[in-house]
Amino acid sequence: MTSSCSIPGLNVARSRFPEPEQDLPAGEGEQRLVLAGGCFWCVEAVFLAMDGVNRVESGYAGGSRETANYEAVCTGTTGHAEVIDVHYDPKRVSFGELLRVFFSVAHDPTQLNRQGNDRGTQYRSAVFYETPEQKRVVEAYIHQINKAGVYSEPVVTALEPLEAFYPAEANHQNFAARNPYQPYIMAVAAPKMEKLIDGFSDRLKPEYTEASAGSNSGSNLA
């Protein structure tokens, strides 16, 4: 990852992003959502803070098992994207609510095969769907965003079937919380966390809303 990132979406207020008109039913038991939005360190940090999210694991999707490692994926030739595997309680946070945060805070969905200075297909914007219902809801929400003119450019997020998820190496898990003052985290993850805390305080775990009082955004990563 490079040391800086331009995130135009951070300047777009939460109120500009419509509530999803379609969503998945709450159902029973834990559900999952696999997302690609650039550096997985930073996207992971955002979703770990959300109430109803039980756990988040960084990893790779879109390529083969043989190339599912950081060194290979960084070449941009494996077909993999850096992704996060979000496991959540649908009775506390819905699929649609997670999508709204993904498109408004976690990354800029109008950048093709890049996020800021991070360039390559491994940094593409994508939702890896497991069911036709997931695909339908994502397509509908992208249509809503484009119709509302939230961004000056159209959303380019790809919808890809989830063939397999491969966990990333241990040193990449929970990276932002373990390294809050690492330059890349301060430049890229911290602004996202600041927008999340300022704009979605009602969707956060209690420890994040409590920590935000009198704290800077970097310390909220921990």
Query: Has 74 been annotated as catalytic?
Result: no
**Cα–Cα–Cα angle for 188, 190, 191, rounded to 5 degrees:** 75
Contact 182, 48 (CB under 8 A): no
Name the token pair of 12: 């777009």
| Spatial distance between the Cα atoms of 63 and 208, rounded to a whole number of angstroms | 35
Q: Which tokens hold the place of 144?
A: 């809503």
Which helix H or strand E contains 193, and what residues bound it?
helix 190-199
Q: With contact defined as beta carbons under 8 Å apart, do 82 and 38 qualify? A: yes
Taking alpha carbons only, the member of 84, 98, 85, 83 closest to residue 26 is 98
Contact predicate 34/165, CB 8 Å? yes
Helices then strands, counting H and E runs in the chain, come out as 8, 8
Q: Pick the catalytic residue: 5, 39, 42, 74?
A: 39
Residues designated as active site: 39
